[in-house]
A and B are shown apart, each in its own frame.
Chain A
Amino acid sequence: MDTPVYPAHNYLSNGHGLKSWLLTKDHKRIAMLYLISISIFFFLGGLFAVGIRLELTTPQGDLFQPDTYNKFFTLHGVMMVFFFLIPSVPAVIGNFFIPPMIGAKDLAFPRINLLSWYIYVVGGLFALFAIVAGGVDTGWTFYTPYSSVSSSTNVTATALGVFIAGFSSILTGLNFIVTIHRMRAPGLHWFKLPLFVWAHYATSLIQVLGTPVVAITIVMIFVERAFGFGIFDPQRGGDPVLMQHLFWFYSHPAVYIMILPAMGVISEIISTFSRKRIFGYSFVAFSSLAIAVFGFIVWAHHMFVAGISVYSAMVFSFLSFSVAIPSAVKVFNWAATLHRGSLSFEAPMLYVYGFFGLFLIGGLTGLFLATLGTDIHLHDTYFVVAHFHYIMVGGAIMGYLGGLHFWWPKMIGRMYSEFWSRISAILVFVGFNLTFFPQFMLGYMGMPRRYHMYPPEFQVLNVLSSAGASVLGLGYIIPVIYFLYSIKKGAVAGNNPWGASGLEWRTQSPPLTENFVDVPTDIPEAYEYTPQVVREAKLV
């Protein structure tokens, strides 16, 4: 095997200086801008989580003032949901790889792509302003009337930040939809697309259809706070429950904005590291669409104790199970893909195995919350907290980190430390389970979420959870170090270090600004592995 050479001309070398980055229209550079900005928000949100876990090691609530604690969990939620998880996989990995995966030179609207990053930054600045000005304490859900009349914190600035960042998400989704429809290389029809692209198509549908609804909801909260209007104000006949309906009409599908792209990543990695076509390709592809569609008709399962009628609760419970089926289908198909594969276990694959464990538990615990009889008890307890962290952290972040490890050699052109990446994947998995599994037990014991103090019988499990969080934190910090180190010092990766089959691996690493010298015209089936493909990949 020849030693690969780092290409002299690539998108990173095409222009230097701040201006060449801040005015770039290259989707790959914009993806890197997103990577940097969402990482900042991730670690900021993580800091607030550290505060939360420290406080909860003792029952008395003796470390921070209650108001401080309330701001911590609110800001943790706002940062992580709106400024990290929602943009994470789509805006970084999707942005970078959808065009090369479909043989395009760029997204359909490069300027709008850059604009959406600027919008995100402006939204983020609003949120940061809210922190600097004293924080916000409504919870990331902004429930009225607390958010509109009771809270005296910076709700307006935060809500505006979320509103603005929402348009960034809409524009990203719009760009992907148009790109996937109109920019595919000749001969690349829908059923030759990587499942990553299918997942992003489904995600984009949610982004363009759901986000405007939460945007208008925030506008209505905004006019209540800013102008004294009374749309959800019970004093004037308004209905705070209506606000919850509107909020969850977006925010439940938003969960799928976070998890679907991660599922797309999982499909790519599994196929690559087992050198095998994804089992039941079309079922996995359509299950993404099914999740996106069903995701829109289950929102009221967040409101089973919020005064919806017995019958609507039953309808929404029934529908909520419907979204479990396509998720289960995906998991079974992935597991079946491994059967008779040629499996190797570099860091990306370890993340996939971690994803298996965590997403299974996360998904299955959703059944407890979709089932009416148990949800009444579990609603608004730590069980819910544990469940959605298993999905969003265990599912989405495992997918995101797996994806970063998988495509990092393509993005940077160099390899990171194999040893440390495996260590960190294991630390994340162990730390995560230690942090969040006890919270299921706490939830069934009845500990409500967002509690600053708690009865002493909950302490043992809380201490376990905090201990796990420190392991998890370590697992998140190590990759920063070896990724940064690899940028200058890593071994040159070559075009296709994993022997993967996707179009993005045919170009050099890091790619040219135009992605391809000659756009590929001989489009194979998706995930076609032959001995020849592998041999060529390794040698180029």
Chain B
Amino acid sequence: MGGIPLFPEAASAFAGRVDALYIFIVLVSAFFTVAVSVAVIWFAFRYRRRHAEEIGAHIEGSLPLELAWSIIPTIIAMVMFAWGATLYYEMRRPPAEALQVYAVGKQWMWKFQHPSGQREINELHVPLGRPVKVLVTSEDVLHDLYFPAFRTKIDAIPGRYQPLWFTATKPGRYHIFCAEYCGTKHSGMIGTVVVMEPQQYQDWLTGDLNEGTMAERGGRLFGDLACNTCHLDDGQGRGPSLKDIFARPVELTDGTSVLVDESYLRESILNSQSRVVKGFTPLMPTFQGLISEEGLAALIEHIKSLSPQATAPAPTPAAAPSTSTPAAPAQGAGR
């Protein structure tokens, strides 16, 4: 089909079945489209007006024909209905043994929480071959959690939990979209679902997954936590550019300055409302509790890697402030 994609990746047990039903309806539709089109085009040639006073034949209609083209489409429609309804029934009935994950939509991110305590933003790790049930709700307005590769979605409605389930069948990284319009950054409310081999998933759960160097893992986290939407390299974002920032002093909103080192970076991520760089507003959400220690370390390593000249051991952290008591406890002011 040239470069034009027709089907999204099929990565769940439902995907093949939805595609099959889809193809069935495509064929039925194509048949009727072609049949009617060919008929009317044929008539256009066959019965074109030959002289100015010609008139059409006087035909009232035909009851058998009317019945035929009412009843046959009805039967075909009933097949579609039954097929679709059966599939839908299964898609809306999560099996009891399914792994359960909570999802919360808020403007404009997806927050996931695993029963074992892991929390993720805009990224969801699931094991291969095991039913996963996601209970979806919203903190503010309507959203819709959509996994195109799994062919399923459900609205996130404030005040209620809605279930969605799937069994992933193919390892890989697939889109998560918000499909219900939710305001300014609706199209930025996207993420990635990561389907992993069961063993890998266990490793991920226990946190000792080897996924490249720390800086590489940190780089992925940087994207997954959507840091890159504000911290743009050109300094035009809502947060300061992190390029070549490490091991340099920066001026803060209160006029003092601070040297950017590991502890300042850590403080900035976990307790983002305090000690903001001059010229920026404290918009950044706090990631306290949303990122593991390992992830934090990886993220810091990634930020360091953005300052190639400074990769030599950091200057004396003498000037580095001892984390002055987290005066502004995460109030979510800028969230």
Contact = CB atoms under 8 A, between A and B. Distances in A.
Interface string A428-457: 000000000000010011101111111101
A29 to B, nearest CB: 34
B66 interface: yes
Contacts of A450: 181, 186-187
A380 B47 contact: no
22 contacts: A146-B182, A234-B158, A277-B58, A304-B88, A307-B154, A310-B89, A321-B80, A325-B70, A325-B77, A329-B69, A339-B47, A340-B56, A342-B55, A356-B40, A364-B32, A367-B28, A372-B81, A372-B84, A372-B85, A373-B85, A374-B25, A446-B149
Interface stretch (A92-100, A207-215, A279-287): A279-287
Interface in B149-194: 149, 151-155, 157-160, 162, 175, 177-188, 190
A420 interface: no
Given A305-B153, A343-B47, A380-B153, A446 B146 contact: yes
Interface in A107-149: 137, 139, 143, 145-146, 149
Contacts of B216: none
B43 A343 contact: yes
A380 B152 CA distance: 12
Contacts of B62: 279-280, 336
Given A150-B140, A235-B158, A305-B144, 19 more contacts: A66-B187, A146-B181, A279-B60, A283-B61, A306-B155, A328-B70, A338-B40, A342-B50, A343-B49, A345-B48, A356-B40, A357-B33, A361-B33, A371-B80, A373-B83, A441-B4, A441-B6, A445-B8, A446-B177
Contacts of B81: 317-318, 321, 370-372
Contacts of A343: 43-44, 47-49
A103 B113 CA distance: 70
B22 A321 contact: no
A340 B59 contact: yes
A451 B146 CA distance: 14
Given A331-B36, A342-B55, A445 B61 contact: no
B24 to A, nearest CB: 9
A373 B55 contact: no
B96 interface: no
Contacts of B36: 331-332, 335, 356, 360
Interface of A: 61, 66-67, 70, 137, 139, 143, 145-146, 149-151, 234-235, 237, 239-241, 274-277, 279-283, 304-307, 310, 313-314, 317-318, 321, 324-325, 328-329, 331-333, 335-336, 338-345, 353, 356-357, 360-361, 364-365, 367-368, 370-377, 379-381, 441, 444-446, 448-455, 457, 460-461, 529-531, 533-535, 538
Given A365-B29, A445-B8, A373 B49 contact: no
B148 A529 contact: no
Nearest to B22: A374
A72 to B, nearest CB: 13
Given A276-B59, A314-B88, A335 B21 contact: no
Contacts of A461: 4-5
Report whether over half of chain B's contact residues are helix, strand or loop; otherwise say mixed: mixed
The list of the 7 closest CB pairs from A to B, nearest first, reads A446-B148, A276-B56, A373-B87, A372-B88, A371-B84, A280-B61, A341-B56
